[in-house]
């Protein structure tokens, strides 16, 4: 019996290991391009592991965003591409697997993980991450690197403790598994490293099996995909050009404008990107403009537009003919929208700053053919890209953001022309922010109706759960981000 359990766990760990390997390859791809011509011979200012420890400590202690902190420190450190890849892997992997790692560490750290100094905790976590999830680094190397770093950052006592904990774990490796007899929520939370409250919430919404699939998918490395700027080229031509240069690409089955890039380096650093031939965007996110289906010459309102990915996609679909008002509450984000528009050569976008809750005071009733409300949300659909979201959000954040979403919908609803289309989208999988939100809106707005999802979706997406004119995309369906997209119309009075 126990042999079986261990067997299962080993299997899931080896799958996890191969997933991490893919993530590492992708990271070092990214590192290679990021490092660019500055791949240096001289000794780097800091090692990959020291950098990862500093980033993780800043995330935990100061609430820093892992991506910003990592990018800033990578720029300063000038690591080789391989080391930049390792540092990236250690930061994201350790954040993604934090629950599981701490569960294992807890048995070996005498005074408890919570009582450790933040940098020591981070050092132990990255070391356990390497031991469990990376098969390319020998265990003895993990221990000696950790001990050396502990000596450098602390003192002899700490390095001795680090040495003892890690060696003890390696000696007792058979203890590193999650008991299968635990209640489902607890087991999923520990095995796939998600907070218990989140797992319990998803089990209530989706059931155990789907919740486990969501959590497993959230630990996969995200795919790289680009959206072709159809005002400049076609998907076929773009794919041919990318293949000629050695990239491995395939056409997205979700979006007619999307290309999946299986290998080819950091797409945002290519001349194609600089010249505006494509944008880097997740496949689920590309479906939003598909649902809006803006037509040439129309007047479109994008209520919460920054940084402008979907605004630009809508402008491309309109062949840059018509008028899109791209609004965002943050003045500094207007620049981001303008940069996108300029890079992509799109002139029909008018970027404005203001609270979307005031849009009904700024524009006359029934003045737009299309409205996109890509609402601020809890972001629980993009955990693969931003694993910190798991640990930084709470159930009360979902309640707070839901009440803003409700107000936003009410405020922009009168601005749509009868017969027009309003798309409400989020990058979360929380029903309170998604189908329940739309059901509540429809119950209070008899002038609105849900539209058939099959009119805008691709054959691939037709089997996905469709409720109230909306499609709930879960991350395991097509290995794309979790999104909700609802398409509503205002009936002609």
Ligand X SMILES: C[S@@+](CC[C@H](N)C(=O)[O-])C[C@H]1O[C@@H](n2cnc3c(N)ncnc32)[C@H](O)[C@@H]1O
- Convert residues 118-147 into a mask of x (bound to ligand X by CB under 6 A) and - (unbound): ------------------------------
Q: How far is Cα 378 from Cα 394, in angstroms, rounded to an integer?
A: 9
Q: Rank residues 355 and 460 by Cβ distance to ligand X and give the closer one.
A: 355
Q: How far is Cα 367 from Cα 356, in angstroms, rounded to an integer?
A: 15
Helices and strands per DSSP (H, E), number in the chain: 21, 13
Q: How far is Cα 466 from Cα 486, in angstroms, rounded to an integer?
A: 9
Backbone φ and ψ for 450, nearest 5 degrees, come out as: -75, 145
Is the separation of the CB atoms in 358 and 327 below 8 Å?
no
Work out whether 280 is an interface residue with ligand X (CB under 6 A): no
Q: Give the residue ranges of DSSP H helices in 134-177.
A: 139-153, 156-171
Work out whether 376 is an interface residue with ligand X (CB under 6 A): yes
Q: Rank residues 376 and 414 by Cβ distance to ligand X and give the closer one.
A: 376
Backbone φ and ψ for 170, nearest 5 degrees, come out as: -65, -40
Q: Rank residues 250 and 400 by Cβ distance to ligand X and give the closer one.
A: 400
CB atoms within 10 A of CB 467: 17
Q: How far is Cα 69 from Cα 62, in angstroms, rounded to an integer?
A: 11
Work out whether 335 is an interface residue with ligand X (CB under 6 A): no
Q: Which of 328, 369, 430, 435 binds ligand X (CB under 6 A)?
A: 328
Q: How far is Cα 162 from Cα 155, in angstroms, rounded to an integer?
A: 11
Q: Rank residues 83 and 328 by Cβ distance to ligand X and give the closer one.
A: 328
In the region spanning residues 295 to 314, those forming contacts with ligand X, defined by CB under 6 A, are 304-310
Residue 310 assigned to a binding site: yes
**Which CA distances in Å does 202 have to 190, 206, 430, 474?**
15, 6, 8, 12
Site stretch for ligand X (CB under 6 A), options 67-75, 137-145, 178-186, 322-330: 322-330
Q: Is the bond into 307 cis (omega within 30 degrees of 0)?
A: yes
- Convert residues 351-370 into a mask of x (bound to ligand X by CB under 6 A) and - (unbound): ----xxx-------------
Q: Name residues whose C-beta falls within 8 Å of residue 488's C-beta, 6 or more positions apart in sequence.
A: 421, 422, 423, 424, 438, 441, 442, 448, 449, 450, 451, 469
Q: Name residues whose C-beta falls within 8 Å of residue 457's C-beta, 6 or more positions apart in sequence.
A: 287, 290, 291, 464, 471
Site size with ligand X, rule: CB under 6 A: 17
Using CB positions, name the residue nearest to ligand X: 304
Residue 469 assigned to a binding site: no
- Convert residues 169-198 into a mask of x (bound to ligand X by CB under 6 A) and - (unbound): ------------------------------
Q: Rank residues 56 and 303 by Cβ distance to ligand X and give the closer one.
A: 303
Work out whether 374 is an interface residue with ligand X (CB under 6 A): yes
C-beta of 411: minimal distance to ligand X in Å? 9
C-beta of 276: minimal distance to ligand X in Å? 16
C-beta of 386: minimal distance to ligand X in Å? 12
C-beta of 340: minimal distance to ligand X in Å? 8
Work out whether 317 is an interface residue with ligand X (CB under 6 A): no
Q: Rank residues 102 and 374 by Cβ distance to ligand X and give the closer one.
A: 374
**Which CA distances in Å does 310 have to 240, 294, 315, 378?**
25, 12, 9, 18
Range 246-250 contact pairs with CB under 8 angstroms and sequence separation of 24 or more: none
Residue 358 assigned to a binding site: no
Work out whether 393 is an interface residue with ligand X (CB under 6 A): no
Q: Rank residues 213 and 357 by Cβ distance to ligand X and give the closer one.
A: 357
Given the residues 215, 348, 411, 427, select the one marked as catalytic. 427
C-beta of 252: minimal distance to ligand X in Å? 17
Q: Name residues whose C-beta falls within 8 Å of residue 111's C-beta, 6 or more positions apart in sequence.
A: none
C-beta of 482: minimal distance to ligand X in Å? 13
Q: Dihedral (C-alpha) 318, 425, 222, 45: value to the nearest 10 degrees?
A: 90
Work out whether 324 is an interface residue with ligand X (CB under 6 A): no
| Annotated catalytic residue 377 | no
> Is the backbone of residue 439 left (phi > 0), alpha (psi -120 to 50) or beta?
alpha
Q: How far is Cα 464 from Cα 457, in angstroms, rounded to an integer?
A: 10
Residue ranges at the known binding site: 304-310, 328, 355, 374
**Which residues bind to ligand X, rule: CB under 6 A?**
304-310, 327-330, 333, 355-357, 374, 376
Residue ranges at the known binding site for S-adenosyl-L-methionine: 304-310, 328, 355, 374
Question: Which residues are marked as active site?
Answer: 427
């Amino acid at each position: 019996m126990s042999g079986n359990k261990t067997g299962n766990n080993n299997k899931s760990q080896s799958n996890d290991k191969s997933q991490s390997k893919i993530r590492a390859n992708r990271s070092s791809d990214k590192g290679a391009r990021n490092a660019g011509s500055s791949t240096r011979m001289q000794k780097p200012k800091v090692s990959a592991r020291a950098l990862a420890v500093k980033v993780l400590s800043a995330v935990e202690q100061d609430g820093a965003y892992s991506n910003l902190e990592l990018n800033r420190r990578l720029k300063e450190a000038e690591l080789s591409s391989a080391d930049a890849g390792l540092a990236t892997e250690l930061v994201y992997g350790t954040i993604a697997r934090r629950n599981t790692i701490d569960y294992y560490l807890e048995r070996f750290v005498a005074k408890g993980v919570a009582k450790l100094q933040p940098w020591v905790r981070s050092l132990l976590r990255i070391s356990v991450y390497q031991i469990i999830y990376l098969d390319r680094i020998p265990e003895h190397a993990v221990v000696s690197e950790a001990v050396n770093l502990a000596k450098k950052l602390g003192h002899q006592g700490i390095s001795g403790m680090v040495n003892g904990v890690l060696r003890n774990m390696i000696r007792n490796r058979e203890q590193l598994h999650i008991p299968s007899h635990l209640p489902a929520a607890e087991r999923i939370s520990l095995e796939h490293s998600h907070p218990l409250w989140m797992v319990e919430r998803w089990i209530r919404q989706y059931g155990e099996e789907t919740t486990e699939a969501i959590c497993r998918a959230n630990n996969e490395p995200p795919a790289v995909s680009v959206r072709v700027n159809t005002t400049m080229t076609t998907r076929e031509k773009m794919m041919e050009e990318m293949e000629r240069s050695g990239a491995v690409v395939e056409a997205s089955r979700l979006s007619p404008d999307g290309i999946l890039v299986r290998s080819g380096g950091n797409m945002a650093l290519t001349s194609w990107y600089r010249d505006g031939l494509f944008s880097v965007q997740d496949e689920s996110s590309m479906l939003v403009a598909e649902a809006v289906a803006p037509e040439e010459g129309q007047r479109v309102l994008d209520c919460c537009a920054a940084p402008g990915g979907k605004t630009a996609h809508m402008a491309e679909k309109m062949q840059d003919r018509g008028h899109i008002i791209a609004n965002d509450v943050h003045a500094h984000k207007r620049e981001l929208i303008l940069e996108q528009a300029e890079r992509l050569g799109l002139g029909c976008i008018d970027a404005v700053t203001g609270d979307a809750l005031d849009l009904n005071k700024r524009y006359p009733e029934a003045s737009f053919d299309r409205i996109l409300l890509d609402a601020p949300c809890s972001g629980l659909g993009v955990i693969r890209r931003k694993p910190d979201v798991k640990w930084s959000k709470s159930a009360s954040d979902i309640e707070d953001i839901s009440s803003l979403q409700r107000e936003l919908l009410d405020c922009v609803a009168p601005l749509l022309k009868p017969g027009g289309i309003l798309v409400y989208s989020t990058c979360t999988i929380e029903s309170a922010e998604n189908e329940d939100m739309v059901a509540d809106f429809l119950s209070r707005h008899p002038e609105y109706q849900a539209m058939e999802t099959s009119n805008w979706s691709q054959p691939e997406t037709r089997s996905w759960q469709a409720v109230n004119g909306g499609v709930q995309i879960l991350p395991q369906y097509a290995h794309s981000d979790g999104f909700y997209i609802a398409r509503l119309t205002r009936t002609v009075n």
